[in-house]
Structure 1
Amino acid sequence: MAAGFKMSNKGVGKLLRSEMIRVEMVRRAELIKSVAESIAPVGGPSDPHPGHYKSSFHVSSTLRGGRRRDRATATVSNSAYYARFVEYGTEKVPAHHVLLRAAQAGGR
């Protein structure tokens, strides 16, 4: 006869804060970053900083992330000052949704 399984909330909490999970989150974030870099728009000849947005993606991680600060997380961000305009668009610039599309395609 098989033994029963009883989940331990404390054990699950330890797992979610473990270095093993943080490493996996970073691995997935690096995949998303790679996809984002590959689909990022690059300005044309009149752009004073072509490729700046594309080269400004970064991955960061912590063992104290999430809404309750109780789990390992990794984050992909872009440090270009205009990154949100590229992602969400403006009245004159269409939204590119680079990170959204990268997250949908990568991270597995």
Structure 2
Amino acid sequence: MAARFKMSKRGVGQLLRSDMVLAEMVRRADVIRGVAEGIAPVGGPRDPHRGLYKGSFFVQPVRRGGRRKDRAVAIVGNTAPWGAHVEYGTERVRAHHVLLRAAQAGGR
């Protein structure tokens, strides 16, 4: 006899917002943050802000995140004022894509 399963949308929603899923998202975000810190540029020896970008990564757990605000997520970001310039580049500075590369390498 085959087992039967009837999905409950309410139950799936509760699972996606549960402490268990949030803890796993934070664990994965911590791995991504660690990889990002490892590959982040630190600046030259005469840079007055040497290492500030590398030391400015954070993980923020969010219970109601995602596009529809219906699931647990963890955000990895950087608080350095020029963080977007390091990630995406400018006309003078090449893009490093630190968070993109970290997410591709360490999000498992």
Give the TM-score, by structure 2 length.
0.97
Tell me, yes or no, if structure 1 residue 101 matches structure 2 residue 98. Answer: no
* Cα offset, 1:5, TM superposition: 1.3
Q: Which residue does 2:69 correspond to in 1?
A: 69
Alignment of 1:54-93 (within 5 A): 54-93=54-93
What is the CA RMSD across the aligned residues, in angstroms? 0.7
Amino acid at match of 2:91: E
Q: Distance in 2 between matches of 1:3 and 1:35?
A: 42
Q: Which residue does 1:26 correspond to in 2?
A: 26
* Cα offset, 1:46, TM superposition: 2.1
Q: Deviations over 1:76-99 (max 9, x none)?
A: 000000000000000000000000
May I ask how many residue pairs the two structures share in their alignment? 108
Tell me, yes or no, if structure 1 residue 40 matches structure 2 residue 68. Answer: no
Q: Distance in 2 between matches of 1:3 and 1:70?
A: 29
Tell me, yes or no, if structure 1 residue 2 matches structure 2 residue 2. Answer: yes
SS at match of 1:69: coil
SS at match of 2:73: strand
Q: Distance in 1 between matches of 2:90 and 2:29?
A: 27
* Cα offset, 1:3, TM superposition: 2.4
In structure 1, the gaps of 5 or more residues are none
Q: Deviations over 1:6-46 (max 9, x none)?
A: 11111110100101000000000000000000000010122
* Cα offset, 1:64, TM superposition: 0.8
Q: Distance in 1 between matches of 2:49 and 2:99?
A: 20
